[in-house]
Amino acid sequence: MSRQQRDALDALLRSAPRNETPPTVEEQRNGFSAAITRPAPEGVGTRWTVMGGRHALELDPAGVRGRGRLLYLHGGGYVIGSPDTHAGLIGELARRAGLRAISVDYRLAPEHPFPAAVDDGLAAYRELLAAGTDPRDLVVAGDSAGGGLSIATLLAARAAGLPQPAAAVVFSPWADLTLAGRSIRSKEGADPIFTESDVRAYADLYIGAGDRAHPLASPVFADLTGLPPLLVQVGANEVLLDDAVRLAGRAGADDVEVTLEVGPGLPHVFQHHYGRLDEADAALDRAARFLNAHLNGDESDGDRLDPVRPQWRTT
């Protein structure tokens, strides 16, 4: 993979201006949207619908006829972001996996603090099942806060007596709102995007004076028994590195099939940079194959990628 690409991306991310005074929530949302939004890939149709009582963006790769469905929960610290800002990333994963996808516009803090996002994730998941989606044909994915929310949604589904999906993939999951991971401080200089104070500010807005160690806010403290096979991808240059490592360790300790991939020299949710960073394209391909390897093996689903389990590795 290209060291030159990684260095160029790091320099680009570090060049983003930092305000002397903290921006308002609205300014953060507008700035994030302008900086990160990429449209759905060519050949991936989109339309807005309603899922679980919330607006949701459906993404439909051309030619897909199989029953597989992807529920995606976007990142943004529970405060910013939307299905629109992540349409490119979601569409790329859906296209590579050959799956129809849906991304829920879950409620954001501070207007709607914890557990509103979890309630919305669970409502969408419940409606997919109620509409007839076989859980063996359903997979879940998310990035950053949406990665933590993906795990929380599955925990809430388990508590509600609902079946688990076939698999889950999380990119750079924010899984510990107590900020107890060592990398929150040790990786601060290496992380070109976040500082400890940035992450803490999002936690303050999302959970306030509530219990930051609650399992649905910080899944690293949850009992993950019974969750589906899990793929965790994270960059080594992240303050949230230890969130991913400890989440994978917790899953393994609870007898969950889990794969952890740590990409050297890579930033937070580096998968956003597909088409510009070789590691991003390779990671999305591996994520797509992981999902297909665990989906219901129906011979009629020939439009998906060849569901051959790849050789996983931790870098």
Active site residues: 144, 238, 268
Angle between helices 87-97 and 278-294 (to 10 degrees): 50
Walk across the sheet containing 44-51 and list its strands.
Answer: 44-51, 54-61, 100-104, 69-73, 138-143, 167-171, 230-235, 258-263
- Amino acid at position 173, single letter: P
Q: Before 115, cis peptide (omega within 30)?
A: yes
User: In the chain, what is the greatest distance between 2 CA atoms, to the nearest angstrom?
Assistant: 57
Q: How are beta strands 100-104 and 167-171 bridged, if at all?
A: unpaired
Helices 278-294 and 3-14, interaxial angle, to 10°? 100
